Structure 1
């Protein structure tokens, strides 16, 4: 294990030295010139987590509040519960990432959080009697908090895609595209879709949007492995295993 760690550190140092020799461009120019595929994969890869964080726990709860099914203070507390639980569990998710690998954990988080959970959870919220709306929302937000905690593995997954010289710039550009488009526009698209698809449908507009974003991220992960096998993309720049 010690020898592997020494070899890994030596490889990283050689890579950083090679970056300095091969390119004197500023990080943004080098990123757009040599790492466009990594930016695309990272931006699409963050779509699912962004939709999961902005649409079900924020927009859908606000929708229930506007429909007079949920007091405002309960809606706010439920959102606090969701994100506080996600923050509290992130430490344990980090341990899971160290043991299992960032890509595996993030893939599982996308499957559970974006594909499996949204439709039944939002269907339940749309049909729950008003008398039990409060406990239903709190239970649902706790589940979403757990799923968001698992999706925090995306941060290492994104970081791994970029070499040291352009790492901060690459993560910033890709993450802001993913969050800005799929997270920021998620509530707007869900609201527009809600005029075409009833919120009480089996798959509501917010659920469909979250699932679509999740499929985009899973496709990006699958595509990254194909590109890596063809030598077009390097998946890991920090820790090759576990991944």
Structure 2
């Protein structure tokens, strides 16, 4: 029985494969697949985080208003728009990935994300071209939202499908590490710009620099992804089924409703925590704590450094002890800690208190989210893995992540409470616990084993 072999150009020799062959890939190809899978996630998060860091300046440039709250609200609403279309883009690109392969889907995604990031950085200000400026920013966010809708799912599928048995959570964790690296890079660039440039320079051109830098990653990412072999498990599936098989929406939900609900529950608390402590925090630090933006960026930078290492560690622990066995106690602890943590900062808003809280949240975020790509990918069989992960991930992130800055800002304005982020995180944690617990997938201590046996369905 012939195995799959890697050709000199990095592709798989399908002509020598049988339907149930085990692909033989050299270590170089595995490393290349990891880099190709995580590069787009890094670009996605770099852009999102930069938008959050400079939201106050972007509000001045594109959404000028006599009322500061209205200007900020419009900026955050534009941020949220990109998430509203993510489920649509995720489903479409997930279907595309499940039909033609992870490799081709990832190549399309990196170019689309680079184009939207470039548009964000090059759009003239409202003072220059009037209402066309905010419309172009909205267009850029829509394009980005559609493209990144499939990014997490396709990259997670690629990583998990390259992983050897017993290491799927660890391999999947590299998708999260790429987000941590983006946090490190974006906060470092933001800190450099805010400390070295005057406010006038930041408004005039400084805020554009990170977006233009992010756009440069597009061609590099496309080149790397183009030279990666297709996922071994997807190749095996293709050999079994021949031509791509179309699956109706009704059939998908009939077979995967429990997995979708469980996957959304897994993601919600991590998404809320990530966006509150990273995307929303810079605005919170300036408007509620009345501290300089640089205070938040220092902690974000250190958080990025730590999470690059902590996410893989969390993945390894989940491979060893079971992802769901660790999920419940970590989320419960985070629900109990969230309110005291924000109270600690609000009671005496200093850099030391803020930094301490950021480090504690970093450890919890890593413990909760390091295994997310592996947990979600192993809930679905290969034949609709990208679709399932994209749908559950994007709906959860849209409702509890992308809308978090706008929701919390509005609730804070309405209630006058500086502790609204803590209440938001507690609510998200309780929703996650309930959704995972009341599904069969969440109560089964070994869902990955089931998914692994179903990879060729």
Aligned twin of 2:356: 139
SS of equivalent residue, structure 1 residue 35: helix
Q: In the aligned structure 2, how far is the partner of 1:54 from the partner of 1:66?
A: 17
Check 1:226–1:236 CA distance in 2 against 1; reply closer, same or farther (3 A cut): closer
- Residue 29 (structure 1) shift: 6.9
Q: For the structure 1 residues 98 and 57, does the alpha-carbon distance in structure 2 shift closer, same or farther, using more than 3 Å as the test? A: same
Match of residue 8 from structure 1: none
- What is the rounded CA distance, in whole Å, between the counterparts of 2:356 and 2:415 in structure 1? 25
Residue 56 of structure 1, CA deviation? 3.2
Match of 2:452 among 231, 238, 242: 238
User: What is the deviation of 1:116?
Assistant: 1.6
1:72, CA displacement in angstroms? 1.6
Q: Deviations over 1:26-51 (max 9, x none)?
A: 48675345323322321233111100
Deviation at 1:236, TM superposition (A): 3.8
Query: What does residue 366 of structure 2 align with?
Result: 149
Distance 1:123 1:94 in 2: 31
2:426 corresponds to which residue?
Answer: 211
Structure 2 length normalisation: TM-score?
0.42
Gaps of at least 5 residues in structure 1 are 6-11
Paired residues for 1:181-196 under 5 Å:
181-196=399-414
Shift of 1:24: 3.1
User: Residues 226 and 167 of structure 1: is their aligned pair in 2 closer, same or farther, counting only changes over 3 Å?
Assistant: closer
Residue 341 of structure 2 corresponds to residue 121 of structure 1: yes
Over 3 Å counting, the alpha-carbon distance change for 1:27 and 1:16 in structure 2 is: farther
Question: Which has the larger Rg?
Answer: 2
Residues 160 and 237 in structure 1, CA contact (< 8 A), matched pair in contact too:
yes
RMSD: 3.2
The 1:38–1:20 alpha-carbon spacing in structure 2 relative to 1, beyond 3 Å, is farther
Structure 1 residues 57 and 155: CA distance shift in structure 2, 3 A = same
Gaps of 5+ in 2: 1-164, 166-232
Give the counterpart of 1:54 among 275, 280, 283. Answer: 275
Distance 2:339 2:309 in 1: 26
CA 1:26–1:226 in 2, change beyond 3 Å: closer, same or farther?
closer
The match for 2:301 is: 80
Tell me the SS of whatever aligns to 2:439.
Answer: helix
1:64-119 alpha-carbon deviations (Å, 9 max, x no partner): 22246322212112222223322221121122112111112222332223x12210
Shift of 1:137: 1.1
| Residue range with higher mean Cα deviation, 155-164 or 23-32 | 23-32
- Contact 1:87 1:149 (C-alpha < 8 Å) held by counterparts: no
Query: Residues 148-178 of structure 1: CA distance to partner in whole angstroms, max 9, x if unpaired?
Result: 1111222222122111111122111111111
8 A contact 1:126–1:199 mirrored in 2: no
Structure with the bigger RCO (C-alpha within 8 Å, sep 6+) is: 1
1:226 and 1:101 map into 2 onto residues whose CA distance is: 13
Distance 1:36 1:162 in 2: 10
Correspondence for 2:56: none
Contact 2:436 2:443 in 1 (8 A): no
CA distance in 2, matches of 1:27, 1:110: 35
The question of whether the paired residues in 2 share the 8 Å contact of 1:56 and 1:206 is answered with no
Output the CA distance in 2 between the equivalents of 1:102 and 1:158: 11
Q: Does 1:63 align with 2:310?
A: no
Q: 1:137 to 1:58 in 2, by over 3 A?
A: farther
Where has structure 1 moved over 6 Å in runs of 4 or more?
A: 226-229
> Partner of 1:24 in structure 2?
245
Structure 2 residue 382 is matched with structure 1 residue 167 = no
Matched, 1:106 2:323: no
